[in-house]
């Protein structure tokens, strides 16, 4: 039996930054709700996804900008390290195996339909 730990996020890009040979993309997933008056209250939750594949990094740098809606899917890895006080710190790396710009896909589809 195969076991795995996986994530999937669809949201808006905040910013991208190069860290070593990787690209980190912050993505806001919206968990809004209506308040007591029935008005929508925004509640974004930011996630940082790391891209390791050189070809995907190149594509993302050329085709993704802040505000675009993207879909990212990949593996979750718990990491640990020793801090300056000698204690153990824990974190999570979300390594994107699949990364697509939904905004760009929708624009291409709309352009084809206008022709």
| Cβ neighbours of residue 21 closer than 8 Å, sequence gap 6 or more | 52, 54
pLDDT at 115 over 70: no
Nearest to 12 by CA among 31, 35, 33, 34: 31
Confidence (pLDDT) at 35: 86
- Which pLDDT value is given to residue 110? 66
Predicted local distance difference test score (pLDDT) of residue 109: 67
Return the DSSP state at 61. Answer: H
- For the entire predicted model, the pTM comes to 0.80
What element of type H or E holds 46?
A: strand 44-51
Q: Where are the domains of the chain?
A: 6-114
Architecture of domain 6-114: Beta Barrel (2.40)
Q: What is the pLDDT of residues 26-47, one digit of tens each?
A: 999 988 888 889 888 888 899 9
pLDDT category, 88, cuts 50, 70, 90?
A: very high
Across the strands, what pairs with 5? none
SS3 107: helix
């Amino acid at each position: 039996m195969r076991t795995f730990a996986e994530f999937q996020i669809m949201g808006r890009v905040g910013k991208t930054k190069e860290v070593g040979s990787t690209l980190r993309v912050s993505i806001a997933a919206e968990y809004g709700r209506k308040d007591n008056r029935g008005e929508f209250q925004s509640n974004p939750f930011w996630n940082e996804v790391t891209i390791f594949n050189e070809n995907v990094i190149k594509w993302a740098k050329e085709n993704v900008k802040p505000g675009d809606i993207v879909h990212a899917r990949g593996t979750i890895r718990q990491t640990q390290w020793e801090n300056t006080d000698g204690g153990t710190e824990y974190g999570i790396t979300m390594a994107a195996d699949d990364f697509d710009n939904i905004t760009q896909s929708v624009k291409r589809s709309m352009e084809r339909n206008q022709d």
